[in-house]
Amino acid sequence: MLQTVQNAGFFILLLGVLVTVHELGHFLVAKACGVKVLKFSIGFGPKLMGFTRGETEYQIALLPLGGFVKMAGDLPHEELSPEEASRGFLAQPPWKRGLIVLAGPAFNLIFPVLIYFFVYLGPHQATSTLVGNVNPGMPAVAAGIRPGDRVLAVDGVEVRTFDDMRDAFVGRFERPVPVVVDRDGKQLTLQVTPVKHVESSPIDTVERGQIGVEPVSRPALVGVPRGSVAEQTGLRTFDRVLSVNGVGIKDEARLHQAVNKHPEGTPLQLTVRRLDPVQAGAVTGRVPQVLQFTVPKQAGEGMAALGAEGVDLYLATVAPGSAAQKAGIQPGDRVVSINGEPLLSFHQLATKLNAMKEQPFTLSWRGAGGERTEKLAQAPLETVDRTGTPTKAVALGVLNWGLTAADSPVLDEVTVHLGPGAAFKEAALIVPKIVGQMVKVIGGLFVGKVPLNTVGGPIMMYQLAGKSAEQGLDSFLHLMAIISINLGVMNLLPIPVLDGFHLLSAAWEGIRRRPIPVRVREVANMVGLALLIMLMLLAVSNDVMR
């Protein structure tokens, strides 16, 4: 109950601020243009509280789903006193009416700059460029980048956070790129040739170079081939090594250190954690148990010294109905090669699949019945995102082992401090990007590139307000900025009832020297109202389905 009340409070706060910003734009510019403002209302319906100052009544109404600014003479044939006639809205020249109408959406687009300014201002924590893991077979390995290196610059561009480093590789691929790293206090310049990776969404496509480094170190999870010493000892794929001969093992790097100092044949006392699946109705959970094993050290390093191998290429999940399941791939199987090329990491597989889209390919994998090779093709696979919205993307339908909360290491973070100038620059750069993405989304809805089931309404906003508030002030402010931009862009659409149509009307009159014909306006009003009702019904329907 308390959670519901809190979510409702955040929802009202979110809408209340954004409505106030929008209507404040109309109000301030109307006042500046000499138009008489009769009422400034936040919300619709019965008045909850209010006061009158000067010639304007200010009020908060019961329903927080909007607001309005009532100006004198904003309706045709409205009777005004002689002293008010010149101060009526419709009596103003078109350029003034256009400014007043434009001010609402403009304030919604300017307000996020202010929000992001305060989000970016001052110190905040971000994931550093410390390399936690290097994916086998990726360019970083060939270049000599190691776990524990800290990336300082990419192609002459200084980077401090992992996001900075990812952004530095946008447009940089398939050519040598100098990367400066700090290793044990010494700076090294390494030449890396990133592979091309295309990130596509309904609103954007980004071509980015990938070198195969991750900010997280990997836990010591074992992959157990059939007939191996590890299997004979009793180890299973996805067991996590907790200690070797009493030495705690935090990640794969510590495992290498612990086993490499012992000669071949030395008994290694292993403590491992195993997650056994437990069925509870329709939900499958995992119960941990701690086990002890003794393995004679084998030839090789790391996992090979245990008679095992890395777990990366072992599949933990095969999506029901996916192309992988239809081909007979099962959880616990290990992928071996694609199009005859041996695979060194799951990341390598994902990169190749990303480039292939729905193009057929040959995949080899090893399972209970031995090794198999089949010709496959990725296909659209329906998934559900965190908001409950079903989405479809071309995929094979397999995942390797995902980190549990207990497995997830603490990321190395760096404190980034931005002064007022830098914070304003970042805010001024990010808002136009989001506006551009929002315009693409709206255009995609009309041409069918963006699914209609992504449209959300008040229930979705209510849920997002509560979730973002739980994640912290920055997350809540980010949501507020996104919705403010959404309101600003949507209100500029030339649809009757919205500000965009009134702006179009003012522009028409300013250019043609006469208003839009009454019949055209009446038809436009009916069509626009029908569109808005359909959009509202779609949004509410999607909310209910979620």
Q: What would the DSSP string read from start to end of 439-471?
A: HHHHHHHHHTSS-GGG---HHHHHHHHHHHHHT
Alpha helices in 58-175 (DSSP H): 82-85, 94-120, 139-143, 162-168
Give pLDDT, residue 191.
Answer: 94
Distance CA 128, CA 412 (A): 6
Give pLDDT, residue 200.
Answer: 65
Residue 225's contacts (CB-CB under 8 Å, 6 or more residues apart) are: 231, 308, 309, 334, 366
Distance CA 332, CA 315 (A): 5
Give pLDDT, residue 243.
Answer: 94
Active site residues: 23
Distance CA 146, CA 394 (A): 33
Distance CA 353, CA 400 (A): 14
The token duo for 437 is 């993405």
- Kindly state the helix (H) or strand (E) to which residue 503 belongs, with its residue range: helix 499-512
CB 442 within 8 A of CB 493: yes
Long-range contacts of 283-290 (CB under 8 A, 24+ apart): 286/404, 288/406, 290/242
The token duo for 7 is 């979510």
pLDDT values of the chain reduced to their tens digit, one per residue, 546 residues: 566 667 777 778 888 888 889 999 999 999 999 999 999 999 888 888 999 998 899 999 888 778 889 898 887 777 777 777 788 888 889 899 899 999 999 999 999 999 999 888 888 888 899 888 887 778 998 898 887 789 999 999 999 999 899 999 988 988 999 999 998 789 999 999 999 888 765 556 778 889 989 888 788 899 999 889 999 999 999 999 999 999 998 887 778 778 888 899 999 999 999 988 776 665 667 788 999 999 999 988 788 899 999 888 999 889 898 999 999 999 989 999 999 999 888 888 988 898 888 899 999 999 888 899 999 999 988 776 555 566 778 889 998 887 665 566 667 888 888 889 888 888 888 888 888 877 777 777 666 666 666 666 556 665 666 666 666 777 888 888 888 888 888 888 887 778 888 888 888 888 888 877 767 666 766 776 676 677 667 666 666 665
What's the order of all strands across the beta sheet hosting 186-192? Answer: 157-158, 150-154, 177-183, 186-192
Give pLDDT, residue 457.
Answer: 58
Give pLDDT, residue 275.
Answer: 86
